[in-house]
Structure 1
Amino acid sequence: MEPSTNPPRSFFDINSYAIKAFIIVVLVLVLLIPTTMVDSIIRERNNRQEEVTEQISHSWGKEQQVTGPVIAIPYLGDTTKTQYAYILPENLRINGEIIPEKLRRGIFSVAVYNAKLQLSGNFSSDAFNSLSVSPSALNWQKAVLLIELTDLNGIGNQVVLNWNDKKLQFNPNSLPEGPFSSSIQAPFPMSPGDTAALNGNFNFDLKFRGSQSVKFSPIGKTTKVALNSSWTNPSFDEAFPPATRRVDENGFAATWEAQHLNRSFPQAWVGDKFNIHASDFGVKLFLPTEVYQMSTRAIKYAILIIGLTFLIFYFLELSQRLALHPLQYTLIGLALCIFYTLLISISEQINFMLAYLIASVLTIGLIVVYTAAALRSKRIGITIGVALALLYGFIFVVISADDQALLMGSLGLFLILAVVMYVSTKINWQQLGNKTNNKSIIH
């Protein structure tokens, strides 16, 4: 018998595909470095947007919280520090309109508004009777009516409150630090012990500028708020959801009703013992294009896209007896990473969905052309393009589904793993090291 003329195969010849698989895994991990750098860019751009939002809000008006009116009577207690007895209204009704607009600085937009409110209601001496203080300990002559607003620079009118047909003019706040330190006040002198003077009706108009959101404190024993606006993307995620709401292409209208049982503070108290803003409610002018949030979601799936793309190429190598150099894998991986820089830069200029489509088409087109040229096969290039289009489409659906993202992602990954496992069962692993066998190793 004649000796074999085939030279003995080395360890690398026998295990070439296993070594290639190991190199691919290492490349996937290495390519996570540029995706981490892109993630840093997203955070940097997001921080820049927050800075611009803060700058515009500072000049126009910050997020506003409306609290009041409240009667405050100085309390001469055991300490040398002046405290106040606070009395809240029996009923509070707020009706108003939010007139929105967008202010831009560079590529960044901020939602701002002008608010026109009409506030009315009444006070009752019953609230004072619940206080466990002696009337003689109160400085009735120094009593004031307070209206708190987060950013007083946004006030757009001289506030005049009608109290039992008497007009009360408001002035800047002179109270020390406390729960109503950011407020305007009107003198409300009363005769010592004259609790009946607390019974009265009030109404006044309040105009102010603000940005992003407007909130209200449920200080009335019954608080009712009705707002309407031309803003078409409101968000009502606060302590109390609206009792009624309407949102359409013309804007929104919403009403709230809160009772004193829904909050964590009483109708009257002394000192600074309660957080009156814990139960605030209202509306946020939501900007629908959350570019950086969506981009952050997308980049979390970078390892999945890179890993599955490389796996597709690896299986093509096995089935077609082709060979891609590790450098070619690296170039394809870098193209996949550049997708995210394209996505963030384009989405800052246009709608996120359209930006995602443009970035994915550019990335997939580049990889398809490169694959067809490298492997000299248009058919393989088109196959890769179809697979990547399905993959990018799946990722977009997942990142767009806020509440169902985990469920859809889990089911999608399960199906992808099932397909990979099925394909792997068709590979004749015993022939991988036999380079002299020209038959397909997928059966």
Structure 2
Amino acid sequence: MQNRSPGLKLLFMCVIGFMLIVPLAMVYLLVSDRESQSETAQEAITAGWGGEQTIAGPMLVIPFEAEVTETETVNGQNRCRTVTQRRELFVSPQKQVVRTELQPDYKEYSIYRSVIYDSDTSGEATFTLPDDLSRIDVERSALQFDQAELRFGISDPRGLTDGTSVRVAGEQLALKPGNGPRSTGGAGFSTSVEWDGEGELPVAWTYGLRGSKSFALIPRGGETEWTITSPWQHPSFVGSFLPDNDNREIGSDGFTAKYEGITNLALGEALVSTNEAGPPPSFGMEVPIDRYSAAETMPGGGSKLAAIRLVEPVDLYSQVDRSVKYGFLFIGFTFLAYFMFDVVGGARVASAEYLLTGVGLILFFVMLLAFAEVVGFTLAYLIASGAIIGLLTAYSAAVLGGWRRAGMIGGMLVGLYAAIYVLLSLEAWSLMIGSILLFAALAAVMYATRNVEWSIGQNEREETGYAG
């Protein structure tokens, strides 16, 4: 490109820059692939421990028989008949108080790890049955109290540990696996209970539960109060309900959150019904942008929940992903510096030298990803940026014809890598800071090239004596 005009040099530089979109996109896909492998490894880690846990209950279920009229077609004629069907009456507690303690830990496999926890949950609830059930077309005399049962929901019962107990009026009951409420997909446990429907039915329970990443409660009843504590320092409150700011504390020793005032009016559920609410639209909960206070949108038709996610303070894949998106800033600033030395300083940079420099800049992201999986993002950033800055500074000494110019390239790269790291750390200000950097770069290029005659090549410069 030595004898080409500055305009053609700029054009070739831009073409090479756009060619680098392909390897940069391949690096972006590599990050996605490694993140997918990490998620698969985390699923394998928690396979024998317990997944994201959602608990529900207790719910009192009383079977009854009801006469139902059915219409059937016989020989082309519609006939009605009355049949007796077995149905169930679902009774939610008047009030329930739940307490949960989470003890988090890490479980590792190769270079991957996942957040796991042991939890202890206990609670009390009180059930009453209204005298008049005619509004829901149920005859009290049809209720089969001798077959009543309490149902507790556990989304992943594999995590249940020893010490599970349910007491009614102080008497411990025998538990049966499965037959949980519909809100947890039928998973959980149940127990038969003797009750004549008169007065109050006090229930107390306790159980240990292992899980990973998140813990959620599906509130039920006239009023629900839930207190959860943990030494984890980075909770994310998600779901349909959030604890008030006055009812949550987050510090270096962990967090405490108290949910209160969750009523059946807020839940949109009757205390007594012949229909049972289904599961939430999704047991998986997305991490909100604000890790401390964001609610997940919960469309109607399913149970509502309150949930805590144990968020890792640094998600290396999201940070590497964001850094790749700044790839063109690295390439653009470096190419512009070479271009200034070419058209203003007379260094004569060839197309192949632009290309090799761009490949070196893209290699930074591959090294960043590879080291981040082993030593963490910050240290990986230092290692990868240091290696690439050293490589390109040494290469620039040959390309630009001296260590003084190479030192300027090295200084620019140090400042650029530092600025990008700041952008990655200050997510809320990244767009503004990035736009200021681009404005400063454009202004510098305009000033440095204000006297360049873009249409004159090197031979014409020598013939006309143009000095730039």
TM-score, normalised to structure 1's length?
0.88
Q: Distance in 1 between matches of 2:171 and 2:133?
A: 25
When structure 1 is superposed on structure 2, of 327-336 and 397-406 the one drifting more is 397-406
Cα shift at 1:438: 6.6
Question: Residue 377 of structure 1 aligns with which residue?
Answer: 402
Q: Mark the CA change 1:147 to 1:426 in structure 2 (over 3 Å): closer, same or farther.
A: farther
SS of corresponding position for 1:336: helix
Q: Distance in 1 between matches of 2:184 and 2:311?
A: 28
Question: Residue 428 of structure 2 aligns with which residue?
Answer: 403
Question: Residue 170 of structure 1 aligns with which residue?
Answer: 175
Cα shift at 1:239: 2.5
Q: Distance in 2 between matches of 1:310 and 1:438?
A: 27
Question: Residue 146 of structure 1 aligns with which residue?
Answer: 151
- Structure 2 counterpart of 1:163, one-letter code: V
Cα shift at 1:317: 0.7
Cα shift at 1:313: 0.8
Given candidates 341, 344, 347, the residue that maps to 2:372 is 347
Q: Distance in 2 between matches of 1:127 and 1:355?
A: 68
Question: Residue 50 of structure 2 aligns with which residue?
Answer: 61
Task: Map residues 22-421 of structure 1 onto 2, 5 A cutoff.
Answer: 22-77=11-66, 78=68, 83-126=87-130, 129=133, 132-135=136-139, 136-174=141-179, 181-191=186-196, 194=197, 196=198, 199-243=200-244, 244-260=247-263, 261-275=265-279, 278-421=303-446
SS of corresponding position for 2:108: strand
Matched, 1:435 2:461: yes
Cα shift at 1:234: 1.8
Q: Distance in 1 between matches of 2:48 and 2:132?
A: 40
Cα shift at 1:339: 0.2
Q: Mark the CA change 1:270 to 1:410 in structure 2 (over 3 Å): closer, same or farther.
A: farther
Matched, 1:18 2:10: no
Residue segments in structure 2 that go unaligned for 5+ positions in a row: 71-83, 281-301
Cα shift at 1:176: 9.4
Cα shift at 1:54: 1.1
SS of corresponding position for 1:312: helix
- Structure 1 counterpart of 2:13, one-letter code: I
When structure 1 is superposed on structure 2, of 39-48 and 425-434 the one drifting more is 425-434
Question: Residue 9 of structure 1 aligns with which residue?
Answer: none
Cα shift at 1:410: 3.6
- Structure 2 counterpart of 1:235, one-letter code: S
Cα shift at 1:341: 0.6
When structure 1 is superposed on structure 2, of 357-366 and 256-265 the one drifting more is 256-265
Q: CA RMSD in A?
A: 2.7
Aligned-pair identity in percent equals 26
TM-score, normalised to structure 2's length?
0.83
SS of corresponding position for 2:61: strand
Cα shift at 1:347: 0.7
Q: Between Structure 1 and Structure 2, how many residues are aligned?
A: 426
> Would the aligned equivalents of 1:226 and 1:256 in 2 still touch at CA under 8 Å?
yes
Q: Distance in 1 between matches of 2:423 and 2:152?
A: 46
Q: Mark the CA change 1:421 to 1:225 in structure 2 (over 3 Å): closer, same or farther.
A: farther
Cα shift at 1:210: 0.5
Q: Mark the CA change 1:164 to 1:386 in structure 2 (over 3 Å): closer, same or farther.
A: same
Question: Residue 79 of structure 2 aligns with which residue?
Answer: none
> Would the aligned equivalents of 1:146 and 1:180 in 2 still touch at CA under 8 Å?
no
Cα shift at 1:429: 3.6
Cα shift at 1:309: 1.4
When structure 1 is superposed on structure 2, of 106-115 and 342-351 the one drifting more is 342-351
Q: Mark the CA change 1:397 to 1:422 in structure 2 (over 3 Å): closer, same or farther.
A: same
SS of corresponding position for 1:204: strand
- Structure 1 counterpart of 2:406, one-letter code: G
SS of corresponding position for 1:435: helix
When structure 1 is superposed on structure 2, of 210-219 and 174-183 the one drifting more is 174-183
> Would the aligned equivalents of 1:265 and 1:274 in 2 still touch at CA under 8 Å?
no
Q: Distance in 2 between matches of 1:415 and 1:13?
A: 28
Q: Distance in 2 between matches of 1:421 and 1:238?
A: 52
- Structure 2 counterpart of 1:108, one-letter code: Y
Cα shift at 1:218: 1.6
SS of corresponding position for 2:186: coil
> Would the aligned equivalents of 2:195 and 2:201 in 1 still touch at CA under 8 Å?
no
SS of corresponding position for 1:61: coil
- Structure 1 counterpart of 2:157, one-letter code: L
